[in-house]
Amino acid sequence: MTADPLATSPTRPGSLPTGLRFELKGRIGAGNHGVVFRAHDRQLQRDVAIKRFSYFLADDPRAMRRITREVAMLARVSHPHVVTVHDLVHMADGDGEVIPHLVMELVEGTSLRDLLALHGPSPRSVLVVRGVLEGLAACHRADILHLDIKPANVLVTEAGRVKIVDFGIARAASDSTATVAGSPHYMAPEQYEGRADERSDVYSVGCLLHECLTGKPPFEGTMASQLMAHRHHPRPDPRALAPGVSPALAAVVMRAMAIDPAHRYASVDAMLDALTHLDAAPRTAPPTSAAVDTAPATDAVRVVDDSGPADAGSVRPVEAWVPTTPVVTRWSKLTTLTTGLVLSAFVVALLPGLVWLTTSVPPGSGYRPDAMQDANAAGWWFLAVTLTMLLLLRRGGFLRDLSGPPVGEPRRSGVVGPHTRTGLRAATRASLLGSSPMLFPWYVVAVAAAVAASGGSWPSDVYGSGWSLAWVLLPLVAVLLVLRAVTRIRPRLGALFMAVVYLGLAAVAGALFVAYPAMVG
């Protein structure tokens, strides 16, 4: 019986104990099956990535036996698009419990998920998918299935090359935990039934390519709804969301996502051959090389697919997200939304204060009620802001306007675009309406002027009783009733009847306003 080449062996003379060999420097990421750390191998003097398996896997002997076999097979695969596995060691975690850790090549780069979030979809991503297919082909030849292809498991390195991570772990974990291997957005229908072969990875790559071209996975929703969609719904055409996709490329995507495995490409090599012969990412300039910067929010991934044949075992850099025109991404939408919210908050906070300042302008002390003295300014400001927020919520679409156009559409230059300006106009209107109760003294001034012009009498204390206050409000009631009657007129009997009713009530309000001073006198 041969020893497991990846099992931790006793410390050899001149070598460091496992617990001292690796120095964890920081956490890189986490997933369903464990946490990945950046580490330094003191013995070989190199930086590596170490995956600490989760406890539900580490405590399951059957799962670990399957993972050990998968990792041993993967360690024999050497391909530029597949992350290299160095070792499987047992060492203590932060709590002192000894659990398995997978030592891998440290990939300096950015995940495809982050690239899509930062830069949006691009037809040039076909070249990234081709790299994924090349790596999968090498692993399929070694009888290794991935079964969890998704943007988070595809990295683009600083050299512009593709690296696939997390091989075989999903299937090994699912076999022992009675769960389904994979992620619902990208899983082939047969994976839900516990069946899988090379064509299952083809299906996942088809879903991946759909998202790279459109910015969205083929199906969304709850896990149950995605299961039904993957198994029964028509295959989505990427041209519905990305009209610039060529018919030939759309056909490749839809064939790769066929429900019946027999209708898909028979292997990843067949799908790779179909993509290789497509002119899916036409160049607008001769191929050139450029540097890679993978820093968040400012990175632009490098660039080139040399069209000449590559040497055996070599890999070419891929042309990725360098769009000819800026497009809207999830990151840019978040930035636009944040900017719009800050500007809207400024408007909503400022306008009620300006309106309040006008309440001290009306001449005379009898036009401003005691409740509107300066000591109560904060309460009135809060009331105006609350009414403004209610009006914006009732309107609907306010946040959609502030966030700008959908992902993938051309992005306009400038901080405030047309959508944001629409949202700011809505915030201004709502703020003015919410502040309208503060304008009551001006309304009283207008009514008093009208009464004086008509020769009527004005009460000495208009706020002295509820009847006097109601009398002052009667003209406003009459105007609102007339406006409602006029705006609701329709060539229908019921609408005409209601218009007459509103006009009659407005006439009653006007008559009471005229008659009240004489009745009181």
**CA within 13 Å, CB half, 364:** 12
In a domain, 57, yes or no: yes
Whether residues 177 and 98 fall in one domain: no
Whether residues 352 and 496 fall in one domain: no
Whether residues 248 and 116 fall in one domain: yes
In a domain, 223, yes or no: yes
Which amino acid appears at position 9 of this protein? S
Domain range enclosing 464? 459-521
Could you write out the three-class secondary structure of 81-104? CECCEEEEEEEECCCCCEEEEEEE
Instruction: Describe the strand order of the beta sheet including 22-31 as a list of residue ranges.
Output: 22-31, 34-41, 46-53, 98-105, 85-92
The pLDDT of residue 269 is above 90: yes
Domain stops at, among 105, 134, 162: 105
The number of distinct structural domains making up the chain is 4
Whether residues 209 and 85 fall in one domain: no
* Beta pairing, strands 46-53 & 34-41: antiparallel
Largest Cα–Cα distance of the chain, in whole Å? 116
Exposed, middle or buried, 361 (CB in 10 Å: 0-12/13-18/19+)?
A: exposed
d(CA 85, CA 465): 86
Highest mean pLDDT among 30-34, 130-134, 174-178, 393-397: 130-134
The encoded tokens of residue 373 equal 């003295």
pLDDT digits (tens, 9 = 90+) for 415-434: 677 888 888 999 999 999 99
In a domain, 383, yes or no: yes
Structure confidence at residue 238 (pLDDT): 92
Average pLDDT over residues 453-461: 74
Whether residues 208 and 266 fall in one domain: yes
Exposed, middle or buried, 103 (CB in 10 Å: 0-12/13-18/19+)?
A: buried
pLDDT digits (tens, 9 = 90+) for 336-390: 889 989 999 999 999 998 988 887 766 555 566 777 777 788 888 999 999 999 9
pLDDT digits (tens, 9 = 90+) for 125-179: 888 999 999 999 999 998 888 888 999 899 988 777 899 988 756 555 445 443 4
Whether residues 98 and 245 fall in one domain: no
Whether residues 262 and 379 fall in one domain: no
Domain stops at, among 411, 440, 469: 440
The pLDDT of residue 308 is above 60: no
Whether residues 270 and 333 fall in one domain: no
Whether residues 124 and 101 fall in one domain: no
Quote the pTM value: 0.56
Average pLDDT over residues 76-88: 89
Whether residues 85 and 29 fall in one domain: yes
Domain stops at, among 248, 276, 304: 276
d(CA 284, CA 201): 32
In a domain, 252, yes or no: yes
Whether residues 140 and 185 fall in one domain: yes
| Band of pLDDT at residue 255, cut at 50, 70 and 90 | very high
Which are the catalytic amino acids?
Answer: 148
pLDDT-wise least confident of 136-145, 274-283, 449-458: 274-283
In a domain, 13, yes or no: no
| Band of pLDDT at residue 265, cut at 50, 70 and 90 | very high
In a domain, 451, yes or no: no
- Which of these, 513, 516, 367, 361, lies nearest to 445 by C-alpha position? 367
The pLDDT of residue 298 is above 80: no
d(CA 33, CA 167): 12
In a domain, 319, yes or no: no
In a domain, 316, yes or no: no
CATH number at residue 265: 1.10.510.10
Whether residues 149 and 267 fall in one domain: yes
Structure confidence at residue 1 (pLDDT): 42
Average pLDDT over residues 19-39: 83
Percent of the chain with pLDDT over 70: 79
Secondary structure element (H or E) that encloses residue 53, with its range = strand 46-53
Structure confidence at residue 38 (pLDDT): 92
Structure confidence at residue 296 (pLDDT): 36
